[in-house]
Structure 1
Amino acid sequence: MAVKGSCHCKSTTFEVSEAPQTVTRCTCSFCSKRGALWAYYEPSQVKIEPQRSTAAYRWQTMIVKHGFCPACGCTTFTETPDWSTGEANFDKMRIAVNARLLDDFDLDKVEVTVIDGKNLW
């Protein structure tokens, strides 16, 4: 069943094809400061509709696009290659939505996986 979400001011709304079974907490300097919990999807499973505009931040390698709302500042989504092999796979892109922004979704009922981004990159 599809789940909807939005930034605080609703300038950016999105819908994912199904509720996440797990979410990821990354300990890198950026993710830990933003406080996001990431739910990963194939691009075809996500519809993102910026009502006004979205902004993006790219850090260090410039590979991962971190989307955020320029009006209210909420971290909304990332566009990233798949990293499951330890290398960036640009043939298999992923979109991660900030699960904290999902409507009618109980984060306390899903497992949180921690990635040691602080020491990995």
Structure 2
Amino acid sequence: MVIKGSCHCKATMFEVTEVPETVTFCTCTFCSKRGALWAYYVPAKFKLTSPPENVSIYARDSSVVKHGFCASCGCGTFTETPDWSTGEADFDNPKVSVNARLFDDFDLDRIEVVVLDGKNLW
């Protein structure tokens, strides 16, 4: 099942190939201010369907995690990151975390929300 998503102004659009089992609410300083619910995918299951120049990137203090947002309306769209499931950055297993709040025509209320205590982890 393909799920389409877009920012507020539709300048940044994307697709993912499956429904997430869970979404993550991270309490770190960045994510809590952004208000995203993150759905994680391997890069092959994510496709940016709008021109890449419509996406701006924010990377705090390093280029390890690249936070994408729409260059026009500012909506936080997706993040390119190594896998952090072991507590360490696994660069051999990159992930794309998609802001599931931007899924079009999708009932996000039926997906379990997992809270990640990022405020105290890093």
Same fold flag (TM > 0.5): yes
Distance 1:62 1:20 in 2: 26
**How far is 1:61 from its partner?**
4.1
**How far is 1:59 from its partner?**
1.2
Equivalent AA in structure 2 for residue 69 of structure 1: C
Higher alpha-carbon deviation: 29-38 or 55-64: 55-64
Equivalent AA in structure 2 for residue 13 of structure 1: M
Gaps of 5+ in 1: none
Count of residue pairs the alignment pairs up: 121
Distance 1:50 1:58 in 2: 21
SS at match of 2:10: coil
Distance 2:84 2:47 in 1: 22
Distance 2:88 2:21 in 1: 24
Q: Give the TM-score taking structure 2 as reference length.
A: 0.95
Equivalent AA in structure 1 for residue 90 of structure 2: N
Cross-structure match for 1:106 = 107
Cross-structure match for 2:13 = 13
In the alignment, is the contact (CA less than 8 A) between 1:38 and 1:97 conserved in 2? yes
- The CA RMSD measured in Å over matched residues stands at 1.0
Task: Confirm or deny that 1:37 pairs with 2:37.
Answer: yes
Distance 2:78 2:55 in 1: 10
Cross-structure match for 2:60 = 59
Distance 2:62 2:87 in 1: 15
Percent identical residues:
65
Equivalent AA in structure 2 for residue 92 of structure 1: N
Distance 2:50 2:57 in 1: 12
Distance 1:119 1:61 in 2: 20
Distance 2:54 2:16 in 1: 19
Alignment of 1:90-101 (within 5 A): 90-101=91-102
**How far is 1:70 from its partner?**
1.5
Distance 2:9 2:31 in 1: 21
In the alignment, is the contact (CA less than 8 A) between 1:19 and 1:105 conserved in 2? no
